[in-house]
Amino acid sequence: MSAIDTLFRELRGTGRKAMMPFVTAGDPDLEFTAAVLRRLDGQGCHLFEVGIPYSDPVADGPVIQASYTRALEKKVKLADIFQMLTRLTPALAAPVVSMVSYAIVYRQGLAEYVGRAKAAGVAGVIVPDLPVEESGPLAETCRREDLSLIHLVTPTTPRDRARLIAERTTGFIYYVSVTGITGERTELPHEVLDKVAQLREDTELPICIGFGISRPEHVRMLMPVADGLIVGSAVVRRIAEAAGQPREQVLDKVSRYVADLLAAMQA
């Protein structure tokens, strides 16, 4: 079992759900990335999604794209990210998942990327631009290293294909709540509840919902059907807007925001 399997088994056993913040590695720098992960880990977040900066992401909206651009302009390298995670992950209670373009994985070599990720303490990988039909080689490589390979299901995914995705996913399914790109929404479509309920009929895997989640009312809406909630753009935006402020103030700002979401999970 991967660390993600263990986590969700424990959460399900106690009737709890997972809070999973997303942060961009290297925005504004890797030292801050490590600091925010430590802070949110101490608050009780259950999983972390760390975005590997890429110049042409396929599903990310302007907030996360801009954070990738800032990190790349500062010459953040994959090796630097893995070095940071190697130092950090042993001190975290929450597993870390990398969100990474397949172009990066392919350029490194599948075994090389997965091996380095595993050595850095990464528990799973999300590769949003890798079609499930072409995921066999990476899935086998991840299986050998006991890393979860997490696939995405969207509102427009046909049910038969969603079943295939579920069969080939390990760790958890990433359910995309809206049609489109990442980014904060004022409201989420009510249909997501029925869509996730339908998906749950076809798989026993945990289902974590992402895209658009940014408010406590979103958390309360999705809690009945989700095993976990992924919050990305709202966290990344708060970090970007606080640029130039003392770092402890930025950490406090992000911490207070996530605390409100965690409190909504308990309501």
Residues forming the active site: 49, 60
CA distances from 253 to 1, 2, 17, 137, 243 (A): 35, 32, 23, 42, 12
CA distances from 183 to 50, 63, 187, 231, 264 (A): 16, 7, 12, 9, 20
User: With 0-12 CB in 10 A as exposed, 13-18 as middle and 19+ as buried, what is 9?
Assistant: exposed
Sheet of 48-51: strand order equals 148-150, 122-126, 96-99, 48-51, 18-24, 228-231, 207-210, 173-176, 152-153
Q: Look up residue 157 and give its two tokens.
A: 């995914």
Report yes or no: 96 and 85 within 8 Å, Cβ to Cβ.
yes
Q: Look up residue 163 and give its two tokens.
A: 């079943």
Q: Look up residue 140 and give its two tokens.
A: 């086998």
